[in-house]
Amino acid sequence: MNVRTAQVKKLRNLLKGKMVTIQHAADETLKDLRNHDENPPDFYDQATIETDRNINLLLRELDRQSVQEMDEAIQRIQKGTFGRCKACNKQISAGRLKANPMATLCINCKKKEEKESMRMAKSGGWSLYEMEPSDVW
Ligand SMILES: [Zn+2]
């Protein structure tokens, strides 16, 4: 087995381990949510639990996304396209991949993308101050 294959295998195991951890955490969150349902709390507890629940759901959504990203990274490893920029098809630097194995863009394309999304946020973004008072009330 050459060095590259060994590295890829190591990374794949790492990603799989991470996926299991995340899925386990998501299961625990679900169990928590069910427990809350069994014991109806008073109004103020309810409000706190609502907030907790929203945060948990958000976290689960983020987890789901990272599991998907990892899954895609594993697929790229299997296809042999891992470490290649999906925009310009150049090799992503080893340092960047080490910091973020799920990276799909090289640093140049990533910078370009960030610039673009910042421009979009500025032109298309909304702000509370721009809303009519009737919208706020
Ligand atoms: Zn690129």
Is 96 in contact with 103 (CB distance < 8 Å)? Answer: yes
23 Cα–ligand 1 center, Å: 31
91 strand-pairing partners? 84
What residue ranges in 21-65 does DSSP mark as E strands?
none
103 Cα–ligand 1 center, Å: 11
19 Cα–ligand 1 center, Å: 27
- State whether CATH 1.20.120.910 applies to domain 1-82: yes
110 Cα–ligand 1 center, Å: 7
pLDDT truncated to tens, each residue of the chain (137 aa)?
565 677 677 777 877 777 777 777 777 776 776 666 555 556 667 777 777 777 777 777 777 787 788 888 888 888 888 889 999 999 999 888 888 888 899 999 999 999 988 887 777 655 544 555 554 44
96 Cα–ligand 1 center, Å: 12
pLDDT attached to residue 44: 66
Query: Please, where in the chain does CATH 1.20.120.910 lie?
Result: 1-82
Whether the pTM exceeds 0.75: the reply is no
Is residue 106 packed enough to be buried (19+ CB in 10 Å), middle (13-18) or exposed (0-12)? buried
118 Cα–ligand 1 center, Å: 18
CA dist 1 and 123 (Å) reads: 52
Is 38 in contact with 25 (CB distance < 8 Å)? Answer: no
64 Cα–ligand 1 center, Å: 26
84 strand-pairing partners? 91
Is residue 19 packed enough to be buried (19+ CB in 10 Å), middle (13-18) or exposed (0-12)? middle
pLDDT attached to residue 114: 92
User: 54-83 burial, b for 16+ CB within 10 Å, e for fewer?
Assistant: eebeeebeebeeebebbeebbebbeeeebb
pLDDT attached to residue 136: 47
pLDDT attached to residue 37: 57
92 Cα–ligand 1 center, Å: 7
pLDDT attached to residue 128: 47
